[in-house]
Amino acid sequence: MAKNGFLLVYLVVILFLWAISLSIGARVAPLLQNYAKPISSNIFDTSNYGKLQLNNGLARTPQMGWNSWNFFACNINETVIKETGLMLTADALVSTGLADLGYVYLNIDDCWSAATRDSKGQLVADPVTFPSGIKALADYIHEKGLKLGIYSDAGVFTCQVRPGSLNHENDDAELFASWGVDYLKYDNCYNLGIKPEDRYPPMRNALNATGRRILFSLCEWGVDDPALWAGHIGNSWRTTDDINDSWASVTTIADINDKWAAYAGPGGWNDPDMLEVGNGGMTYQEYRAHFSIWALMKAPLLVGCDVRNMTAETYQILTNQEVVAVNQDRLGVQGRKIHVTGTEGCLQVWAGPLSGSRLVVALWNRCTKAATITVKWETLGIEPRTTVSVRDLWKHKDVSDDVVASFSARVDSHDCEMYIFTPSYTRSRYAA
């Protein structure tokens, strides 16, 4: 009897453990099934992605384009966008080849509207800075093959004290759609203390009701951890405070955004704010690191400099097709920080899976001196005896076809080297 009882208990335990394993297996995101072993799913976990998707068909890869705020701030007008004189912003996106790479959204930030609504309660463009109106501007931009983005606020005023859209969501969404707007950045100022979970959904509903597909970008600054709740509301959500053109800002924001990596995926992205590349506050190496990490993190790539007057170095960074391809990879898994060494963790390895069972690997030196950074296969979830081919994305050349166990590179201070790793099991699989 005791033996039978023991067997019964044993059977119950086995069944219990089997049920748990099925439950855990069911939680593994479909994205992880697209790349082969031995990449470990717990390194690049996406189990929180897809629980609450907006599913409006937009932002299947992170959005790309240009935003007016980082360079022009409130000094924006239609002359900057479309008039003659300096190379036009819209024309520059086309003529430089940026649009062909995917930078197609031309987004006007705060200060485009008049200080008050009109007698009918409608938003109107500032008659001094946008005398032709937003509809004419949208038509001009669409003729260039680009898309127009506009700005509003989930509060009674915008951050620059123009009319906000709180309690005007339906009217404003219909107006934006009638103008031909393709993208809405929705800020968080003057919000009356109302929870963002209550303020943002009405605009989502209003945009969807227009019948026009408008990318919805929440700018909640990460105050209430939007990665936890914004996936069913917007196509991207700001995870951090505003960026500024400094190394300290870039590194701080990257670390904050990294903690929410498991929540990002096609249709809904963590947004660590716009690019500062080309605005003059950092070195070439720092800008290159900034762009590399934003691309790896699947951040929206929104240029923030004056694209009419880019330096050769700025152009080289923004138009690196291989780095842009990492950002736009169809697998859509956000890369993340996976290993740190050095003083206060200043020597870092960031990595993420790509389609075709490849990996992107960034060796980021945040120390004050040049150093050698090493990544071991175990850190990446690769079996140590696996042979890996390595391609350098900034030098645009293959480094080696037969690296085993680990890879090292010398990295300058405040710089970042970026590679594609292709394990041998992948190459044999795709050789035919």
Query: Contact at 8 Å (CB) between 253 and 143?
Result: no
171 is catalytic: no
Burial class (CB in 10 A: 0-12, 13-18, 19+), 12: exposed
Residue 102 CA to residue 87 CA, distance in Å, equals 20
Type of residue numbered 165: S
Q: Count other C-beta atoms under 10 Å from residue 423's C-beta.
A: 25
Query: Contact at 8 Å (CB) between 64 and 236?
Result: no
Q: Count other C-beta atoms under 10 Å from residue 61's C-beta.
A: 18
Type of residue numbered 210: T
Q: Among the options 171, 225, 242, 255, which is catalytic?
A: 242
Residue 340's beta-bridge partner residues? Answer: 348
Q: How many CA atoms lie within 13 A of 158 on its CB side?
A: 19
Residue 408 DSSP code: E
Residue 395 CA to residue 411 CA, distance in Å, equals 13
Specify the long-range contacts of residues 38-41, CB closer than 8 Å, at least 24 apart.
38/381, 38/382, 38/383, 38/386, 39/353, 39/357, 39/359, 39/380, 39/381, 39/382, 40/381
Residue 372's beta-bridge partner residues? Answer: 410
242 is catalytic: yes
Q: What are phi and psi of 257, to 5 degrees?
A: -65, -30
Torsion of CA 287, 290, 291, 297, to 10 degrees: 180
Query: Contact at 8 Å (CB) between 106 and 140?
Result: no
- Which H or E run includes 149? strand 147-153
Q: Among the options 153, 172, 187, 258, which is catalytic?
A: 187
Describe the strand order of the beta sheet including 269-271 as a list of residue ranges. 269-271, 236-238, 215-218, 183-187, 147-153, 105-107, 64-67, 301-303
Closest CA to 61 of 323, 362, 326: 326
Specify the long-range contacts of residues 208-212, CB closer than 8 Å, at least 24 apart.
208/56, 209/170, 209/173, 210/173, 210/174, 210/176, 210/177, 211/177, 212/177, 212/181
Residue written as token pair 């710089």: 415
Give catalytic residues, as residue numbers: 187, 242
